Amino acid sequence: MDIYSVIQSLIQKATTRNLIDERDQIYVRNQLIALLKINHWDESHEAIDVEIPDLLEDIMGYAVETGLIRDLLDEKEIFSSKLMDIFMPRPSDLNRTFFEIYKENPKKATSFFYELSKNSNYIQTKRIAKNISFQAETTYGELDITINLSKPEKDPKQIAMEKEMKVTDSNYPKCLLCMENEGYEGRIGYPARSNHRLIPMQLSDEQWFLQYSPYVYYNEHCILFSSEHRDMRISRETFSRLLSFVEQFPHYFAGSNADLPIVGGSILSHDHYQGGNYEFAMARAEEEYSFSLDAFPNVKAGTIKWPMSVIRLRGKNKEELTDAAEFILNEWISYSDPSVDILSHTEDTRHNTITPISRYKNNEFELDLVLRNNRANDQHPLGIFHPHEDVHHIKKENIGLIEVMGLAVLPARLKRELEDVKNYLIGIDNKVSDHHVKWANEISVRYDNEITSESVEEILRAEVGQKFLRVLMDAGVFKRDAVGQEAFRNFIHTLNP
């Protein structure tokens, strides 16, 4: 396709996707050809039906070919983001539209913003489609498994440039979650955000912002972040803000990564939460052991059937629920039980914290408190309540909020490695990564004559699911055996002194 057809196709597709009105088409065309240094227009070239990400790839090829940009991932990302910014409303106009729709229906408002974020290519739909996703049945329900293939690989030239630039790197924006990213051009080593937009909101009398993740792992995967650049911290205010959010957007859940290394998320330097319009297996987990909290008579409490250690609180009063969560957090922070390897502190270093998740269900608030401990020892130097060494061939990284709720985000290397394991199991090839050999042999023995070229995919996916279940069980502070559950009850008994 020639560049004129590509531009016309992009304008037409943006119109059908409601990014622009027909009245905007000439204005947008002029902005595009100015950015592409085209000094005339040929009306004879017609639009064809091609999706926006593919059209952007064609334009990037033209920009590289004509010397407008270098053939570097980040330069192409910056240029692509600038192109799509031409189709985007100003933040004030977007916010006005969002809240007008919100008055009618909060779910319609988030759907509008989500579709805008996808159609503007801020959410990388084409790359996300490369992910391998499936579900695995376990005794705790269907766990979600995703092999993350969406992040593009950088070539050696760009990696070298990033290392050189770190010497004089800018400290603006301070981090990837600061509000100053809205409309930021980007640079080598820092993502393009020209087409990035935010929705402001009040959470417990503080200014926060809503955006969507560029690489969503589930439906309407959103990020909430503070207007202030400050460290993550789980506190009373955390519970209050999470409940405030689901009160404003009852079709969404919201949760926070823990605030300590090993058990926390990847970005601990900026206070933020994640949410979305999705029901994880954890949300469907049944209550297993109910108990009352004497100091909070209107709060219903219980543990749930889940591989990690979770206290679920339910009630209609946000303040009382917040009070109860704060009380449990403070009790947990100072709690130790050496019989099950739980020590609250090592000298002045704290180990206990909570991963909280909020929902609004059946006309009441629901708050899950996942008990976490980040202590390490000689046997488990990466963390006692972290994936143990025998599951590292599948998952070695930290267990954050998304994994806690039942969605495994697994490394891209597994696409190739699991293909090798499949071929090994059906006898096509004996080439398999050393760290998978023991596992592959165990599968071969366990399924014996059941493994065929038709069944091997299903078998292997089920086995990956079981490995992820083991990951979650490793991360649970009170194990699912008799000793662990008795220890869990002992902690619960301390809540009613």
pLDDT tens track, the chain, 497 positions: 699 999 999 999 999 999 999 999 999 999 999 999 998 898 888 889 999 999 999 999 999 999 999 999 999 999 999 999 999 999 999 999 999 999 999 999 999 999 999 999 999 999 999 999 999 999 999 999 999 999 877 666 667 767 666 645 678 999 999 999 999 999 999 999 999 999 999 999 899 999 999 999 999 999 999 999 999 999 999 999 999 999 999 999 999 999 999 998 778 999 999 999 999 999 999 999 999 999 999 999 999 999 999 999 999 999 999 999 999 999 999 999 999 999 999 999 999 999 999 999 999 999 999 999 999 999 999 999 999 999 999 999 999 999 999 999 999 999 999 999 999 999 998 899 999 999 999 999 999 889 999 999 999 999 999 999 999 999 999 999 999 999 999 999 999 98
- How would you classify the pairing of strands 141-147 and 407-410? parallel
Instruction: Give the pLDDT confidence score for residue 166 in this predicted structure.
Output: 62
322: Cα separation from own chain's centroid: 25
- How would you classify the pairing of strands 199-203 and 310-315? unpaired
Rounded to a whole number of angstroms, the CA Rg of the chain reads: 25
Which residue pairs from 389-394 have beta carbons closer than 8 angstroms and sit at least 24 positions apart in sequence?
A: 390/470, 391/467, 391/470, 391/471, 391/474, 392/435, 393/433, 393/435, 393/436, 393/439, 394/464, 394/467, 394/468, 394/471
Collapse the DSSP code of 163 into the 3-class scheme (helix H, G, I; strand E, B; otherwise coil) and give the result. Answer: helix
Output the pTM of the full model.
Answer: 0.94
Q: Which of 67, 80, 59 is nearest to 2 (CA)?
A: 59
